[in-house]
Amino acid sequence: MASFGVNAQLLVNKPTFTHDDTLRGSITKERIWWDLKHYALHVSVQPKDSTFSGFNTITYQVLQPSQVLQVDLQQPLIISKIVQDGVNLKFKRDGNAFFVTLQKAQKVGKTESLTVYYQGKPRVAKRAPWDGGISWSKDKDGKWFIATSCQGLGASVWWPCKDHMYDEPDSMSIAVTVPKGLMDVSNGRLRSVKENSDNTTTFVWAVVNPINNYGVNLNIANYYRITDKYFGEKGQLDLNYFVLPENYQKAMTHFNQAKDMLKAFEYWFGPYPFYEDSYKLVEVPYLGMEHQSSVTYGNGYQNGYRGRDLSGTGWGTKWDFIIVHESGHEWFANNITYKDIADMWIHESFTNYSENLFTEFFYGKEAGHAYVLGTRKLISNDRPIIGVYNVNHEGSGDMYYKGGNMLHTIRYIIDNDEKWRNILRGMNQVFYHKTVTTEEIENYISQQSEVNLSKVFDQYLRTVQIPTLEYKVSGNKLEYRWTTCIDGFDMPVRFKKADNTYLKVKPSMQWQSIEDSNLSNISVDENFYINSKNLNK
């Protein structure tokens, strides 16, 4: 491990940012004055020439007086016109942002709407879902198999919207027109299907809950539909699985794992957050993504992550990684959503940790713990987990495995499983359908656990250093201290004794000591993600 000081490590690989990054990643003065209420998106997809065309009616409430509004749409797509109350509005483009001059006086408290018309060839996904856009593929029968994915890249890669995570619409309708013989599956529930005279079909979906913009998706194929029901904490939840014809029989049995996922996660996190919009698994031509109430799946109907166990323990091949992980995001990403992508750990750390909790629920506590500890070999400690704010910049990929191990460590600091479970469930109640900051999550966990965890979060989220616990034993005396850590780091930890009992201590950066009659073969509890150094050896 590189031994950087806290300040020095923050300078490693410091990125540079552009004007476009600021327009995309900040709450600009042209965004802050209006509150999203509803999107009514209409998209016509033409696979033959890879084009999209359509319009989005944006309904909003005026919070502050202003006459200029920002709408985002990424190149090479273009906006052809913007209309409010029948009047064509003037607008100018600045990179991927459009600044619209409103003619009608925008009065505080009033609800208004405007319609944005657009067209063009949206960006083709390069490596979905990590480098997303539109995935254009075909099934075994040569029929189109198309899907969107846009986290990080932004929803404006394929439709005009307020492309910042801090503001979500309260509801949304999604009307998608596709060539006859194909079906679109999007978020929420299917409201209508219309056969058009031009040999196309329009599918209209409705979402009645708030939805983050990257969670909106289109999935187009010759889908077969499987229906089921789950009886959970809020009653009956409708389950729908949309799969390619050749995979129908596999999906009939394999997708039963969705019920196991729901059983485990409702236990740990509380009710599935979108009963009104149902739960769907939708087959796509890429690995998968957490689209709200429309979780996409491309893991090949096999357990593990493309058949592999990421933990190396064997437990990760007991269940399908994509069904478990991407569905875990329904609680941590779609229910609780970061305001700024710099805080993406809120999505990925908790959802990574959900894999451990799923394993524990079905295979026992030791199995779950073995799984999360096994993922430590995948941690890089290359840069901080938290990114740079206001420029659409996410932190290190360590937000997955290091973040999951941080949460596992916090569980052992709290040392009360029922309290820990109540904290996880409480988060999904207090922050229900809300956008949040890291500070809100940190403060909630500290308050509910009655442990000041601020230094723990600072250490693991904001530096690349893993704290080292130095210790030595002399007779009945144990001495210990923290090193390679931030100033004031005082995380509690525990030692495991030879008789399988534990000795709890709260080290500081200064040597401390404690006496105990059973210190032979003492070791640091491996459930704490730290380095340890026995100075007697």
pLDDT in tens, the chain (537 residues): 332 233 333 444 578 999 999 999 999 999 999 999 999 999 999 999 999 999 999 999 999 999 999 999 999 999 999 999 999 999 999 999 999 999 999 999 999 999 999 999 999 999 999 999 999 999 999 999 999 999 999 999 999 999 999 999 999 999 999 999 999 999 999 999 999 999 999 999 999 999 999 999 999 999 999 999 999 999 999 999 999 999 999 999 999 999 999 999 999 999 999 999 999 999 999 999 999 999 999 999 999 999 999 999 999 999 999 999 999 999 999 999 999 999 999 999 999 999 999 999 999 999 999 999 999 999 999 999 999 999 999 999 999 999 999 999 999 999 999 999 999 999 999 999 999 999 999 999 999 999 999 999 999 999 999 999 999 999 999 999 999 999 999 999 999 999 999 999 999 999 999 999 999 999 999 999 999 999 998
Which tokens is 46 given? Answer: 């033409």
pLDDT at 4: 28
Q: Compute and round to an integer the Cα radius of gyration of the chain.
A: 25
Local structure of 231: helix, strand or coil: strand
Nearest to 280 by CA among 149, 189, 176, 215: 189
Instruction: Tell me which DSSP letter residue 447 carries.
Output: H
**pTM for the whole structure:** 0.96
Structure tokens at 73: 């749409």
Q: Can you list the positions of beta strands (E) in 208-244?
A: 219-221, 224-232, 235-243
Q: What is the pLDDT of residue 8?
A: 35
Using DSSP's 3-state secondary structure scheme, residue 88 falls into strand
**Does residue 15 have a cis bond before it (omega within 30 degrees)?**
no
Antiparallel, parallel or unpaired: β 468-474 and 531-534: parallel
End-to-end CA distance of the chain: 20
Q: What residues contact 364, with CB distance under 8 A and at least 6 apart?
A: none
SS3 3: coil
Q: How many CB atoms lie within 10 A of CB 142?
A: 7
pLDDT of residue 6: 37
Contact of 312 with 330, CB cutoff 8 Å: no
